[in-house]
Amino acid sequence: MSTKILHIDSNNPILWAQLEEAGFENHADFKSDKEEIEAKIQDYNGIVIRSRFKIDKTFLDKAVNLQFIARVGAGLESIDCEYAEAKGINLIAAPEGNRNAVAEHTLGVILSLFNNLNQADAEIKAGQWNRESNRGHELDLKTVGIIGYGNMGKAFAKKLRGFETKVLCYDILDNVGDENATQVSLRELQEKADVLSLHLPWTPETDKMVNAGFINAFSKPFWIINTSRGKNIVTADLVEAMKSKKILGAGLDVLEYEKLSFETLFQDKNTPEAFQYLLEAKNVLLTPHIAGWTFESHERLAQVIVDKIKALYASS
DSSP-derived 3-state class of residue 80: coil
Are the C-beta atoms of 284 and 250 separated by less than 8 Å? yes
Query: Burial, 8: exposed, middle or buried (Cβ in 10 Å; 0-12, 13-18, 19+)?
Result: buried
From the list 83, 81, 76, 2, the residue with the least C-alpha distance to 43 is 2
Are the C-beta atoms of 174 and 190 separated by less than 8 Å? no
Q: What distance in Å separates the CA atoms of residue 249 and residue 284, rounded to the nearest whole number? A: 6
DSSP-derived 3-state class of residue 225: strand
List the 90-92 sheet strands across, edge first. Answer: 25-28, 4-7, 46-49, 68-71, 90-92
Active site residues: 229, 258, 289
Are the C-beta atoms of 288 and 266 separated by less than 8 Å? no
